[in-house]
Structure 1
């Protein structure tokens, strides 16, 4: 799926030298400390961030031939900062918006089936941010899964969870991967007792800086250099992978605006489907490049 993947901002590498091979229907876990580029790697795998070096293939699609096909094959549950539903949106309104925004890919029945698969039964009258952190995580994953795309990306799986809740979260994501999509998740540490492809990241070294430089100047999500005052990511956060599980090697923003769907009644959360904008390697929003 990926060999020698690297991304950088003007201040230096975000990640470098990443190799991974994820089977279709597998679970991969990108793990490492804050600032290691977990979120940026998810963006790149989903065609939402241009790489500075390396070769990435998602299914039959090569990133070097354009990112549009990678975006179309992937869906984001959340990638922080910037790609996640607004916490003030009620669950039932999120359901309505997900169906409206999916262009026919998602249905109410499909969302409820995903709830059942993941083992979550949310109070649909409550805002997303009022749910227990585990329920909130599984709700956004369920909405992404209901779109039926081959690759699902989810960031910060371990955020706010107790060890017991985290175990339940990994079990749910493993069950989702067994049901069909390739799931690539990011967390500080990898799970125990769950079959997965580990993708370990660390803070970039001097050698990584040379690899990530690659003769290119600080590409952003649309391929243009970031401004001179661009700063490095705290974890370069705000999905898509390939196919039997094998080994691999080598954050909060202001809440996005809430739009309203055509009927003007349900607030639309701000999780984009990848067709509007993508963050650059240094975490700033930038228009996506042409497919």
Structure 2
């Protein structure tokens, strides 16, 4: 595969406090190349701390790889990246959650919501601690901050029976149990209903009150407080081809 898998850092410390106005993410000339050529880049990016930032760019493997890089799940081939002052992928991994990336967090449709929560709680716990099956209190603790006032999915519900919105919110909740400084959500178009996508964005804006949330969209979203859009170039095949033809 063209990505370089990383071993998670055992550290779970939170990101250092940042002075007002200092970007949460700064990338310069960020590039990933694989065996078959460029995947994305060069990308320059500044993401302010807190709130929701939507990267407006074409869908595809380049955008997916960029999201993975910004969350510390992939090492860049070249360029520089700083996430809350951390520059090594392993250190960025420790302060970032990643959800909604099919290559990483797709779940089997034949399992229940309760099964997934139980598995995540066991994954988060020290190896010596016995974790019982998740109950309704665990459901509220894990999913409540992400779902907000929306109805929580029943523990007995199979993943295949969830709506697109509930399915993605569940993936976000499972990835976000430690509430790290940075939450990266793959892309908004996973929810195909315009109305439900607006609900998803509202939920991300709410999470952005306490975290820096980064996501992506092809066409962008309706403006609202706590949300900003930034165009990102260098992630599509057409852009990469043009860059190469230009001799850069």
CA distance 1:154–1:75, change in 2 (3 Å): same
Q: Which one of 98, 104, 119 corresponds to residue 76 of structure 1?
A: 98
CA distance 1:37–1:80, change in 2 (3 Å): same
Name stretches of at least 5 consecutive residues in structure 1 with no aligned partner.
214-291
Residues 79-228 of structure 1 mapped to structure 2, 5 A cutoff: 79-103=101-125, 108=138, 109-117=140-148, 119-178=150-209, 180-194=210-224, 195-201=227-233, 202-203=236-237, 204-206=239-241, 208-209=243-244
How far the C-alpha of 1:79 sits from its partner, in A, is 1.1
Residue by residue, what CA displacement relative to the aligned partner does 1:152-206 show, whole Å, maximum 9, x if unpaired?
Answer: 122132124211111111111111111x121111333221123224243443334
Q: TM-score, normalised by structure 1?
A: 0.64
Q: TM-score, normalised by structure 2?
A: 0.74
Find the residue that maps to 2:190 and give its secondary structure: coil
Find the residue that maps to 1:21 and give its secondary structure: strand
CA distance 1:167–1:71, change in 2 (3 Å): same
> Matches of 1:80 and 1:68 in 2, distance apart?
21
| Greater per-residue helix proportion | 2
> Matches of 2:149 and 2:247 in 1, distance apart?
38
Partners of 1:120 and 1:135 within 8 A in 2: no
RMSD between superposed Cα atoms in Å: 2.6
> Matches of 1:186 and 1:37 in 2, distance apart?
12
Partners of 1:25 and 1:182 within 8 A in 2: yes
CA distance 1:49–1:208, change in 2 (3 Å): farther
How far the C-alpha of 1:99 sits from its partner, in A, is 1.1
Higher relative contact order structure (alpha carbons within 8 Å, sequence separation ≥ 6): 1
Q: Which one of 39, 45, 48 corresponds to residue 14 of structure 1?
A: 39
Residue by residue, what CA displacement relative to the aligned partner does 1:238-280 show, whole Å, maximum 9, x if unpaired?
Answer: xxxxxxxxxxxxxxxxxxxxxxxxxxxxxxxxxxxxxxxxxxx
Find the residue that maps to 1:50 and give its secondary structure: coil
Residue by residue, what CA displacement relative to the aligned partner does 1:68-90 show, whole Å, maximum 9, x if unpaired?
Answer: 11111111223122333322221
Find the residue that maps to 1:140 and give its secondary structure: helix
> Matches of 1:125 and 1:36 in 2, distance apart?
34
Q: Which one of 69, 78, 100 corresponds to residue 53 of structure 1?
A: 78
How far the C-alpha of 1:140 sits from its partner, in A, is 1.3
How far the C-alpha of 1:36 sits from its partner, in A, is 5.9
> Matches of 2:145 and 2:168 in 1, distance apart?
13
